[in-house]
Amino acid sequence: MEEAPVLVKAVVAYDGTDFRGFAAQGDDVRTVAGEINAVLSKVLHRPIVVACAGRTDAGVHAWNQVISFPAPPEVDVNRVARALNGMLGPEIVVRSIDIAAPGFDARHSANGRRYRYTIVNRPTPDPFLARYAWHVVEPLDLDVLRLAADAFIGERNFASFCRQGPPGSTTIRHVRESFWTDLGDGLLRYEVEATAFCWQMVRSITGTQVDMGRGRKHPGDIMDIFRAEDRSAAGAIAPPHGLCLWDVTY
């Protein structure tokens, strides 16, 4: 009788620039999960489909994305990590790997996700950050950004800040933290943590705040935007390359 598989938990980081997002979309579409599934299936000699903590969009990066997948009980997780890093690095790398507790699921066991969005706010772009930060030429008012960020904390209906999901899905989310940090030399970082996020929520929130930092909108407009429950009420969506899934908590 074949022994029951074990669950493996891995923390992976990736540069999302050349991927069409995390979720597998077929053999003709290059995705993070598609690449990982292919290598794991080869190494473990069976079809593998990973679960993940958050399905990042095309062009979005991750530092602490968490995946889980079933494996034979005799699996050598260190060998699996070496195989993934050897075949997929440096675009996709395994930062840690271990056997998970029974019943663990990368997505459903998570109770928090944290994203970081980086902006280069100066006239001259930075070639070393071009793949990982949004270059905004117009000066941004950091005091306005910080005032706007506070308004997103709490449990609210984020319909105005999300793309419409499948029928029956909810856009109510609980944001625990929302703040801006001045890193110096024109670098600004927005950090936001919630129990979960809906589709394009962080990019919509960031783009709306940047419009406020530019003086195109006012922080006092945020409550009206929430009440509208209409995506067209918010600002433009920030580009994907400045966004990174930074951490996941369980």
Catalytic residue numbers read 57
Tokens of 138: 């117009």
CA-wise closest residue to 171 among 200, 193, 146, 143: 200
SS3 116: strand
Helices 201-213, 142-150: axis angle to 10 degrees equals 140
Q: With contact defined as beta carbons under 8 Å apart, do 192 and 200 qualify?
A: no
Phi, psi of 144 (to 5 degrees): -65, -45
Instruction: Kindly tell me the burial class for residue 41, based on how many C-beta atoms sit within 10 Å of its own C-beta (0-12, 13-18, 19 or more).
Output: middle
> In which region does residue 159 sit, left (phi positive, over 0), alpha (psi from -120 to 50) or beta (all else)?
alpha
* Whole-Å CA distances, 92 to 32, 85, 137, 207: 8, 7, 31, 27
C-beta separation of 106 from 66 below 8 A? yes
